[in-house]
Every structure is written in C-alpha cells, then in structure tokens.
Amino acid sequence: MISIPDVLDAASVARLRSIIDAAEWIDGNVTSGHQSALAKRNEQLPEDSQAAREAGNLVLDALGRSPTFIAAALPLRVFPPLFNRYGGGQEFGTHVDNAIRIRRGSDFRIRSDLSATLFLADPDSYDGGELTIDGHFGKQTVKLPAGHLILYPSTSLHYVTPVTRGLRVASFFWIQSMVRGADQRSILFDLDLAIQRIAAERGQGDAEIIRLTGVYHNLLRLWSET
C-alpha cells in the first residue's frame, strides 16, 4: 500500500471539484458487481457523462506527471477514473474489487491488479469515511488530504466507514500493471527509489548508477507483460 501525496495541487482539486460538484449524481450501484451491490451506499457520477470524462482526463493527466505513481504501479492500462461521494451515513461495506473491469458500452477491459482512491475533499470537512484496507499486515485506515492518492492491491478486502457529517468526495479507478506480481512490483519500486537516491548524491553518470539502472530494466524486461 503506497500513499502518493499531491497528485493534484490545490488549484487542480478546486478546478476538478467545480466540474463534478455541478453535475448530476446517481446511485453508486450502477457500477457494482453482485457482492458490492449488497454493501454499497453512495452516489456516483455517470461514467459516460461529460463531467466524468472531463474530470477523468484531469486525473489521468496528473497521473502521467507523477513519477511515484508510474514507479509504483508500472501502469499498462488505467481504467477511466470514476467519481463517488458519501454523506448522510452512507458507507461501503467490506468487499473485494472485481478481477476484471469492463467499461460499459465498449470493448475496453482490464485486469485489476491495483486499486486507487484519489481524495478530493479536505479530511476536516467530513466525519467518518475512512478507507480501511485489510491486508497481509492487518487493517490499515486511510483518510488523506485532498489531492493525495492511495494505491493498494485489488485483491485486498476493504471498506469505507459511514460518513456522519459533510461529504466525502473521491475519484477511484483500477490499474492493470505491466508487472502482474505484487512482489516483483515491490522489488522494482524499491530498486527505483534506491537508484534515484544514489543518483541524487553521485550524479546520473556514475558507473554504478548506470549498472543498477541496467539491472532495473533487465528485471522489468523479465517480468513485464505488454
């Protein structure tokens, strides 16, 4: 599970919110599988609406500018971002995301290796709404500042606690990674971060940096699916 700060800055969050807050919202179960529909109580932007497309493009552009997101997810395909909001006691009970996500009305589909939530509301503006992820290291609770993103394995059980004051607004989406295995992605991410830290001290032209970069790309070549 990786937290990525400032995927959107304050001005970008404000611009995105101005788009989606003015749009018409519908029952969030329009995109639910059978299991999720039993546990889900929230609202969602219609995925084929102009507002969802415009806001989704802003998110995708921001992801493309985030070195940490690219290094952690190694994205092959990203499902077009969706948008939801919770208020008045709404929640999403324990569930696991569908293995295959299909964009309605198209032949676009991905294997969901990673799930992402991009927070779009100040955490002080609402009570509850914590994303709780039950992983290998126990339960971890997440409630991040607006513009920050959490990336976690789609295989994880997770839930959103009831929102008892204000509105919890977020974008959510899934990623099919070039590297399917979580262990391999973790190794590559750690190696990438180590190379960046050493390069900052020694410079990109250092012989050992070049050697380590070669190791990184050879591992990526060995493990990637494209």
What is the chain's pLDDT, residue by residue, as a tens digit (226 residues)? 899 999 999 999 999 999 999 999 998 776 555 555 667 899 999 998 999 999 999 999 999 999 999 999 999 999 999 999 999 999 999 899 999 998 887 889 999 999 999 999 999 999 999 999 987 778 899 999 999 999 999 999 999 999 999 999 999 999 999 999 999 999 999 999 999 999 988 888 888 899 999 999 999 999 998 7
**What kind of architecture, by CATH, is found in domain 182-223?**
Irregular (4.10)
Structural Rg of the chain based on CA atoms: 18
Q: How far apart are CA 91 and CA 28, in angstroms?
A: 11
- Report pLDDT for 36: 57
Strands 109-111 and 100-102, bridge-based pairing: antiparallel
- Report pLDDT for 72: 96
Class of domain 2-177 as given by CATH: mainly beta
Strand arrangement, sheet containing 40-41 = 40-41, 91-95, 157-160, 131-135, 138-142
Q: Which residue has the tokens 């990637």?
A: 224
**Amino acid, res. 107:** D
Q: Where exactly does CATH 4.10.860 map onto the chain? A: 182-223
Q: How far apart are CA 197 and CA 182, in angstroms?
A: 23
Q: Where exactly does CATH 2.60.120.620 map onto the chain? A: 2-177
- Report pLDDT for 39: 76
Q: Long-range contacts of range 213-220, CB-CB < 8 Å, 24 or more positions apart? A: 215/191, 216/188, 216/191, 216/192, 219/184, 219/187, 219/188, 219/191, 220/74, 220/178, 220/179, 220/188
- Report pLDDT for 159: 94
Q: How far apart are CA 136 and CA 130, in angstroms?
A: 19
